Amino acid sequence: MKERFWDNVASDYDAEICNTLRSDRNRRLESVVREHATGASIACDFGCGVGRFLPLLLDCGPTIIATDFSAVSLEIARQSLSETQLRRVDLQKQDLTVGRPRIAKPNKADLALLINVIIMPDREHRRNILANVRRNMVSGGTLIVATPSLESALYSHTRMIEWSERDGSSYKKAVAAEDASAKKEIRSLTSGILDIEDTATKHYLGEELAVELNRAGFECCKRHRIEFEWTEEFQSPPRWLRD
């Protein structure tokens, strides 16, 4: 991981990084976080970026630890909080891909967030992050994970094929055109590495993510889809896509 890359992204974070919390059209993620953060003692936002989830966690009551790889992102998060709020938030610069950092001390977290964090193409980095999160959580704690979906990425290509057909293309030509487009985006279909804004990004099958979490010592209890508007994927999507 390159800290300079994330420091540069931090200055224009909203334009560069999808705001999952804001884009969630059914507010499913907010609901899940509120459900588990209310009554929690210590909540850790691992890979917090510029602190998008901190106001929500603060509203729910727990003591908060927020870590990130980028010092610039952490400073932006710090500046977004009042002095009163900062008394309840411990901002830590941590690289979760290496070592065995002790982050939640003296007491471990009973709630952890990993929102679009385990998405780098290097599998060992992703597994090291999960291992370090597990080390800093109490037994029986709750981990909330959000990741890009491989099913959804491939589904978007099928919608583009139908879009082309509705605009007069034959099915054969539409498939050929979308295959050519997909080749520029998909780096490895079998390992789920696809480009998002020219950045290699891990996308998960639902069952695959459950297996990875289980391998790290977690039990996958519930799984939800976070639904975005089609405008997150396409420019000027047609009305029929809403259905």
Confidence of residue 243 (pLDDT cuts 50, 70, 90): confident
Confidence of residue 133 (pLDDT cuts 50, 70, 90): very high
Q: How far from each other are the two terminal CA atoms of the chain, in whole angstroms? A: 39
DSSP bridge pairs for 204: 149
Rounded distance between C-alpha atoms, residue 47 and residue 15, angstroms: 18
Helices 206-215, 123-135: crossing angle, 10 deg rounding:
50
pLDDT at 10: 55
pLDDT of 6 strictly over 60: no
Rounded distance between C-alpha atoms, residue 209 and residue 123, angstroms: 12
Helices 150-166, 171-185: crossing angle, 10 deg rounding:
140
- In tens, the pLDDT along 50-69 reads 999 999 999 998 999 999 99
Token pair of 26 as six digits: 């059914």
Token pair of 14 as six digits: 């909203």
pLDDT at 110: 96
Residues 6+ apart with CB under 8 A from 242: 230
Rounded distance between C-alpha atoms, residue 134 and residue 60, angstroms: 22
Confidence of residue 5 (pLDDT cuts 50, 70, 90): low
DSSP 8-state class, residue 222: -
Confidence of residue 36 (pLDDT cuts 50, 70, 90): very high
Residues 6+ apart with CB under 8 A from 79: none
pLDDT at 116: 94
pLDDT at 154: 95
* Distances from the Cα of 77 to the Cα of 32, 37, 47, 126, 225, angstroms: 22, 19, 12, 24, 27
Give percent of the chain with pLDDT exceeding 70.
93
Q: Mean pLDDT for the chain? A: 92
Confidence of residue 1 (pLDDT cuts 50, 70, 90): low
Inter-residue contact 29 to 20 (CB < 8 Å): yes
pLDDT of 186 strictly over 70: yes
The strands making up 186-188's β-sheet, listed across from edge to edge, are 186-188, 193-196, 199-202
Rounded distance between C-alpha atoms, residue 196 and residue 48, angstroms: 19
pLDDT of 151 strictly over 90: yes
| Nearest Cα residue to 150 out of 122, 178, 188 | 188
DSSP 8-state class, residue 108: P
- In tens, the pLDDT along 92-129 reads 999 999 999 999 888 999 999 999 999 999 999 999 99
- In tens, the pLDDT along 67-99 reads 999 999 999 999 999 999 999 999 999 999 999
Inter-residue contact 144 to 199 (CB < 8 Å): no
Inter-residue contact 70 to 6 (CB < 8 Å): yes
Inter-residue contact 67 to 93 (CB < 8 Å): yes
Residue position matching structure tokens 């050929």: 176
Mean pLDDT of 228-243: 88
Give percent of the chain with pLDDT exceeding 90.
81
